[in-house]
Amino acid sequence: MDFGNADSWGAAIYFWIFPFVIGDAIFPPVPSEMLVITGGALSAEGHINAFLVVLLATVSSWLGDILVFQLFKRRLSHVLDRWKWGLRFHAAVHAAIAKAGRSSTYGAIIGIRFIPGGRLAATAAAGIANVSTRGFSLCAAIGGLLWASWSVALGYFAGSATGLPFWASSLIGVGVGLVIGAVVGVIVTRRRGSPSPADSAAVDPDQELDF
């Protein structure tokens, strides 16, 4: 497959979205954002459907978030310690929370995913804080839709405005997304509003650290 040729991608990108975006929920270095932005750039050239990319990215983002949330909510994360990749996953959670913070407010669940590693941090923190499943599911769906729409739009408008090859438009979109997305994510997660159930829940500090 010639990755520099848009025709080589075709509908194959649809099948890559699920594993990449779900994998990103567990292991942040997975380049799911770049893949979705690339989908936007390809749609600008008429190779794929932008709305379908948004739909697939939203659904897979939601599924990945639910998986990680339930893992920590039900205190099942210790099961992963049996394997080396599970230990690496725990290390990634610690690193993500240390970088993005432990906030589990509804606003953070939606907005912190725009910060690199923030999606894993907010999802794990929400599970640890025992946020309601219904509330988390709704916020994860809204956040996933906003993230997918934003990522596809970055690639689409970069491709439409520059007229560059799709891979160049993707790189431009990634660069813009890292700058603007990080700023927006920080603003959203630091806003002071009405507290969510997670903020008022009494959670033992030692239990919070027991992943």
Instruction: Give the model's confidence band at 53: pLDDT under 50 very low, under 70 low, under 90 confident, else very high.
Output: very high
Report the pLDDT value the prediction gives residue 59, as an integer from 0 to 100. Answer: 96
What per-residue confidence (pLDDT) applies to 193?
42
> What is residue 125's predicted lDDT score, i.e. its pLDDT?
79
Given pLDDT bands bounded at 50, 70 and 90, which one contains residue 205?
very low
Average pLDDT of span 145-173: 87
Average pLDDT (68-78) is 77
Residue with the bigger pLDDT between 129 and 195: it is 129
Average pLDDT over residues 130-157: 91
**pLDDT > 70 in the chain, percent:** 66
Find the range with the poorest average confidence among 11-15, 62-66, 101-105, 184-188.
101-105
* Of residues 26 and 48, more confidently modeled: 48
SS3 assignment for the chain: CCCCCHHHHCCHHHHHHHHHHHHHHHCCCCCHHHHHHHHHHHHHCCCCCHHHHHHHHHHHHHHHHHHHHHHHHCCCHHHHHHCHHHHHHHHHHHHHHHHHCCCCCHHHHHHHHHCCCHHHHHHHHHHHCCCCHHHHHHHHHHHHHHHHHHHHHHHHHHHHHHCCCHHHHHHHHHHHHHHHHHHHHHHHHCCCCCCCHHHHCCCCHHHHCCC
Over residues 167-190, the mean pLDDT reads: 74
